Amino acid sequence: MEIKARYEGKVLVAGATGKTGQWVVKRLLHYGIPVRVFSRAREKAFSLFGDAVEIVVGKIQSASDIARAVEGCSAVISTLGSSSYNGESSPGEVDRDGVMRLVDEASKAGVRHFSLISSLAVTRWYHPLNLFAGVLLKKWEAEEHLRKLFSQENRSYTIVRPGGLQDGEPLQHHLRVDIGDRLWNGSINRSDVAELLVVALWVVAAKNQTFEVINDFEEVQAGLEPYYDTLAAMLNAPLR
């Protein structure tokens, strides 16, 4: 049975060939949404997705490459993540500068929504993960830049801060969501993070949200959209 697209517009996925990025592409295609992927290796992207997506080759260090990638897209989903202490794959180059460059070019191109994967404990400068070239601090700086540019009129953002990423099919766990970076640990399936990033394209309650999420317990879910209503209720709850 053909599924009617839940979102009208082309979505650029940055970091698409990574494990979480692959799930983002899968879920976008599941909902019938046109996908463009931004990759430095066309062969790898084609081996994963074939003709199901449009591929733009380029590097996250190049503003002109990014500008080509975002042109004509109405939304961007970033699953970019560093993989080394230094060089072009370091936290400074990818988690901060790369994401910030992507945000800048998306803004210039008129992109309306930007979904970003960040990390649990991103505001905690003393966290052990910062021993990896300050990766959490770099992610926090990128978050702040995204919030600044995409909280403006006619734009929106969604920032998902997951716990440890693990493999598994989506919609198999009840999730625990929170705001204010109060969750210390936990894990979550990459596929569910991807689902949250994707449904944020059309769920009104997902707009301009920054939140943490981990698995709570095993329970089949009909969909993850209701978790955004939970977040909205948390934000509107009176202070104690």
Q: 75-78 and 54-57 as β-strands: parallel, antiparallel, unpaired?
A: unpaired
Q: What is the pLDDT of residues 168-216, one digit of tens each?
A: 999 999 999 999 999 989 999 999 999 999 999 999 999 999 999 999 9
Model confidence pTM above 0.75: yes
Based on the number of CB atoms within 10 Å of its own CB, is 223 exposed (0-12), middle (13-18) or buried (19 or more)?
exposed
Q: Report the half-sphere exposure of 55 (CA within 13 A, side-chain side).
A: 17
Q: What is the pLDDT of residues 21-55, one digit of tens each?
A: 999 999 999 999 999 999 999 999 999 999 999 99
Distance of CA 145 to the CA centre of its chain: 15
State the helix-helix crossing angle for 99-108 and 63-70, rounded to 10 degrees: 50
Predicted pLDDT of residue 1? 36
Q: What is the pLDDT of residues 105-123, one digit of tens each?
A: 999 999 999 999 999 999 9
State the DSSP code for 34.
-
Residue 13: phi and psi, rounded to 5, are -110, 120
CATH number assigned to the domain covering 11-236? 3.40.50.720
How does the average pLDDT of the chain come out, rounded? 93
Whether 114 contacts 146, CB under 8 Å: yes
State the CB neighbour count (10 A cutoff) for residue 44. Answer: 13
Say how far apart CA 161 and CA 212 lie, in whole Å: 4
Predicted pLDDT of residue 195? 98
State the pLDDT confidence band at 132, using cuts at 50, 70 and 90: confident
State the pLDDT confidence band at 240, using cuts at 50, 70 and 90: very low
